[in-house]
Copies of this chain bind each other. A is one copy, B any other.
Amino acid sequence: MRDKTKLAQFAPKIENETALGRIILVCEHASHHIPPEWGDLGLSPDLFRAHIAWDPGALGLARGLSQRLDAPLVHATLSRLIYDCNRAPDMPGAMPARSEIHDIPGNANISATERLHRTTAVYLPFHDALHSLIARRIALGLRPVIITVHSFTPIYFGQPRPVEFGVIHDADPTLARAIHAAARQTKLNTQLNAPYSAADDVTHTLRVQATPYGLPNAMLEIRNDLIATAAAEDAMADLLAPVLNIGLVEIQRQAKAS
C-alpha cells in the first residue's frame, strides 16, 4: 500500500499563490519528471524530453507571465505520461498507451488498481489544489480568470504546423476572442481554436474548473520552437503579457457595457 505522505509528493506546485492579479495560470504539462516507482515506462531517455512527455517551454513561459501579470501559477510536477491532468480519468489520453507516433510500453496494460492509484495520486491533488485556489478567491468576491498555458510541436505526424499561437476556449468564447483580437499587435500567426479545439477534448481543466463557475477562461498554445530557450521563453512572456492584459480589459469593458 502506498501511504498518504507519499501521495503528497505528486501534488502540484503553486507559485506566487498570494499574487493579487485577476488571472490564475495553470500548466498541466509543465514537467517531464517520471518518479522512480514508474521506472522508464519502457521509453528511451531522449523521449522523456520530447513533447510527448511534457510541453517544452510552457512552464518557463507561464512563470514569465506569472511575474508580469502578478498571477498565481499552478503546475504539475510529473509527466503527462503518468497522468495528463488535462484529461478526465476515463479518457484514453489520461494515461496514454500511444502518443503521436510513439508507443508507451509502460502504459500498454494498466490495471484497474494502477488507474485508480494514478487518479488518486496525481489527478485529484492537482484539481483539488486548483479548485481550492479558485473557490477561495470566489469567496472573497475576486472572481478569477483561468488561463492554461501549453506548447505544441511544430511537426505533427510529419506535417509542419503554420500556426504559432493558438487561443482555445471551452463553452464561453469571450476571453479567447478578446485575446485573439489583441494578438494582432504581435507578428505571431495567431488562430482561434487551433491546433486543437474543445471538440478534441483538450479543455478538460477549463471545463471542470472555470465553466461551472462562469469564470472567463482560455487555453493558450504556443509552438514550442518559439520558446526553446530561457531567453525565448522570456521574450514570449514580454510579447504575450500585454496581449493577455488587453484581452482582460476588453472583457471587463464588455461586462460593464452589457
Q: Residues of A at under 8 Å CB distance from B? A: 88-90, 112, 115-116, 118-120, 123-124, 127-128, 131-132, 135-136, 138-141, 143, 204, 207-208, 211-213
Contacts and interface: CB of A to CB of B under 8 A. Distances in A.
B124 A132 contact: yes
Contacts of A138: 88-90, 119
Contact of A88 (B90, B120, B132, B213): B213
A143 B88 CA distance: 11
Contacts of A136: 89, 116, 119-120
Contacts of A131: 124, 127-128, 131
Contact of A135 (B112, B124, B212, B213): B124
Given A89-B136, A123-B135, A204-B212, 9 more contacts: A88-B135, A89-B135, A90-B139, A115-B140, A120-B132, A120-B136, A124-B128, A128-B128, A131-B131
Nearest to A142: B90
Contacts of A204: 212
Nearest to A83: B139
Given A212-B207, A212-B208, A112 B132 contact: no
Q: Which 9 pairs show the lowest CB-CB distances between chains A and B?
A: A89-B139, A119-B139, A208-B212, A89-B138, A207-B212, A115-B139, A90-B138, A128-B128, A89-B135
A29 to B, nearest CB: 19
18 contacts: A88-B135, A88-B138, A89-B136, A90-B138, A90-B141, A90-B143, A112-B140, A115-B139, A116-B136, A119-B136, A120-B136, A123-B135, A124-B128, A124-B131, A128-B131, A204-B212, A207-B212, A208-B213
Contacts of A89: 135-136, 138-139
A113 to B, nearest CB: 10
A115 B88 CA distance: 30
A213 B119 CA distance: 15
A36 to B, nearest CB: 23
A217 to B, nearest CB: 12
Contacts of A132: 120, 124
A199 to B, nearest CB: 14
A127 B135 CA distance: 11
Nearest to A110: B139
